[in-house]
Amino acid sequence: MGSISMPIGLPDSHRNGAGSRVTGTLFGYRKGRVTLSIQESPKYFPTLLVELAMQTNVLQKEMSSGMVRIALECEKKGDKDKTRILDEPLWTMYCNGKKSGYGVKKETSEEDLNVMELLKAVSMGAGVLPGNSEIEGPDADLAYMRAHFQRVVGSRDSETFYMLSPDGNNGPELSIFFVRI
């Protein structure tokens, strides 16, 4: 089992809270839930992992039909609460305006680290990693999509990640909004 290597120190953009371009990876087993990973770059440990309330095959279908907007909303707890929006544990999830369950912040598991290690050399792209078909059966393949995202901090109650097109032509195919209301 390989582990993702953590470079010594963090990039300057991570230290000062700035940093507008990050790597986003969506991955999951075909009939399993999608996990969203946000990293400063493919070489770094994920700064955020969220299990989304959507099966991988459903997200693939949504992506093939055009633009996808995922909104993750949580409630304000009061003006004194200093919790960063990406540190919230639970969000109500909407995909293209339809409520679809909850997004849950998760701790990085060994399986998540293995996926990040396998994809470390991939800066952007989509594909399938073979799974353990003896255990999981025919749906054992792990699909992934990795891209650069523009991170926009609107306020302490909103952050958005816009997928950047590699050719720079079209608008984002995927946008992920974190909002505290």
Kindly state whether residue 100 falls inside one of the protein's structural domains.
Answer: yes
Question: What's the predicted TM-score (pTM) here?
Answer: 0.84
pLDDT value, residue 11: 39
- Please write the tens of the pLDDT for every residue from 58-70: 999 999 888 999 9
Question: What pLDDT shows up at residue 106?
Answer: 97
The predicted structure's pLDDT at residue 30: 85
Rg of the Cα trace of the chain?
Answer: 16
Identify the CA nearest to 170 among candidates 83, 67, 91: 67
Q: Is residue 168 part of a domain?
A: yes
Residue 143 forms part of a structural domain? yes
Is 2 part of a structural domain of the chain?
no
In-domain check, residue 1: no
Question: Residue range 102-110: average pLDDT?
Answer: 96
Number of domains in the chain: 1
Residue 73 lies in a domain: yes
Report the alpha-carbon distance of residue 1 to residue 162 in Å, rounded.
Answer: 33
Instruction: Tell whether 41 is covered by a domain.
Output: yes
The predicted-structure confidence for 4-59, as pLDDT tens digits, reads as follows 444 333 333 333 344 489 999 999 998 899 999 999 999 899 999 999 999 999 99
Q: How far apart are CA 27 and CA 97, in angstroms?
A: 22
Task: Tell me if 174 is assigned to some domain.
Answer: yes
**Domain limits at 140?**
20-180
Q: pLDDT tens, 132-155?
A: 666 566 667 899 999 999 999 999
